[in-house]
Amino acid sequence: MLRKTFLATVCASALLTATASVFAAPTQDLKSEQGTLEVTPIVKGLEHPWALAFLPDRQGMLVTERPGNLRVVSTDGKLSDPLSGVPQVWAKGQGGLLDVVLSPDFKQDRMVYLSYAEGGGEGDKAGTAVGRGRLSQDLTAIKDFRVIFRQEPKLSVGNHFGSRLVFDRDGYLFITLGENNDRPTAQDLDKLQGKVVRIYPDGKVPNDNPFVGQKGVRPEIWSYGHRNPQGAALNPWSGTLWENEHGPRGGDEINLIERGKNYGWPIATHGINYSGLPIPEAKGETAEGTVAPHHVWEKSPGLSGMAFYDGDRFKAWQHNVFIGALVNQELIRLQLKDDKVVHEERLLGELNKRIRDVRQGPDGYLYVLTDEDDGVLYKVGLK
């Protein structure tokens, strides 16, 4: 009955959204090292989509659009009207509606978590906020939305919000936070810029966080010294949180996040300023007391969403991790052995589109979002 209601709702809204709802475009065959890729457009007409989350029981996907819309994409490629109840966002520069994840207990509580840029700072500055609300049974609204976390202070004029959300196996919520393009704050433990934080699903701070009880230190902090982490995922085999982040000019990196560790920015970096000059605070590629990147790109691809592949459908992709690239307009495939990157392949370059997010679907395919005015959701598999 629920599925019939859902299909009726989505089909009705699809008629309203007309040209933005159905994308009857052909599948493309593209080359890859593992064989021919099948790349199928599912829906177009998305306005700078940022993230997606799969609903259970083949009810489709939630997709965020940076200007502030949350939509449902059905399994047959129909796009709903924007859901009501979504918070007002600060949609400037890189800011707006960003990540979306479902509660680990979604089938019982129907909670949806959203991260977004929130205004209200001095001089019209913004910071990352996270809140949650219940998805209505008819998939048209987020009910009783409540903010559970705010980045403080608000320092961004449009840059470096970070903003990936990841639940671990124990149900803790991790939030990646950019340093708002204010470099020194990533090392300041009294601020939430350039941090990964760990909270309970209701926003409370766990007592075993590494800096709880220390004077002048934010208790939410789990790790620090991050620049702009726009990708994060839980390793399904080890349970470790992996995070990727933009370097400046060079020095994009992957980090394996550990409790209380300093990941170096800006005192340790492989990159330089966009002007070509060194980072003023940098002591070199490494610095005492900091953790070196697990993997680094000397030339920045512009990293974004991140997904491990642990499905059974495409065995050639097992124990691989996929990362979107905004600058290089590619999907990066990293082959792993004992968590070490042993090989890299660049995919989907023929699309010439900024890859914003990648997720493994319940059907074993990869789903990829492109960050464009006319963004597209693609389904990607091997023949």
- Give all domains of the chain, ordered by start, each with its CATH number: 2-24+41-293 (2.120.10.30)
Of 137, 112, 134, the closest CA to residue 59 belongs to: 137
115 and 203 Cβ atoms separated by less than 8 Å: no
Q: What φ, ψ does residue 207 adopt, rounded to 5°?
A: -65, -20
Residues 293/285, Cβ–Cβ less than 8 Å: no
Cα 44 from Cα 11, distance rounded (Å): 16
Which residues participate in catalysis according to the annotation? 160
- Positive or negative: CA dihedral 59, 60, 64, 65: negative
Residue in this structure with the two tokens 């030339």, named with its chain if needed? 299
Cis-peptide, bond into residue 248, ω within 30° of zero:
no
With 0-12 CB in 10 A as exposed, 13-18 as middle and 19+ as buried, what is 349? middle
Q: Strand order of the sheet with strand 375-382?
A: 28-30, 37-46, 375-382, 366-370, 355-360
- Sheet with 162-167, strands from edge to edge, namely 162-167, 173-177, 195-199, 221-224
- Please tell me the pTM assigned to this model: 0.93
Supply 163's token pair. Answer: 């903003």
DSSP code per residue over 6-48: HHHHHHHHHHHHGGGT----PPEEE--TTSPEEEEEEEEEESS
Backbone phi and psi for residue 115, each to the nearest 5 degrees, phi listed first: -110, 150
Other Cβ atoms less than 10 A from the Cβ of 364: the count is 14
CA distance 88 to 277: 38
Burial class (CB in 10 A: 0-12, 13-18, 19+), 22: middle
Beta-bridge partners for 357: 369
pLDDT in tens, the chain (383 residues): 334 333 444 343 333 343 344 455 789 999 999 999 999 999 999 999 999 999 999 999 999 999 999 999 998 899 999 999 999 999 999 999 999 999 999 999 999 999 999 999 999 999 999 999 999 999 999 999 999 999 999 999 999 999 999 999 999 999 999 999 999 999 999 999 999 999 999 999 999 999 999 999 999 999 999 999 999 999 999 999 999 999 999 999 999 999 999 999 999 999 999 999 999 999 999 999 999 999 999 999 999 999 999 999 999 999 999 999 999 999 999 999 989 999 999 999 999 999 999 999 999 999 999 999 999 999 999 99
pLDDT of residue 24: 53
CA-to-CA distance for 67 and 134, rounded, in angstroms? Answer: 21
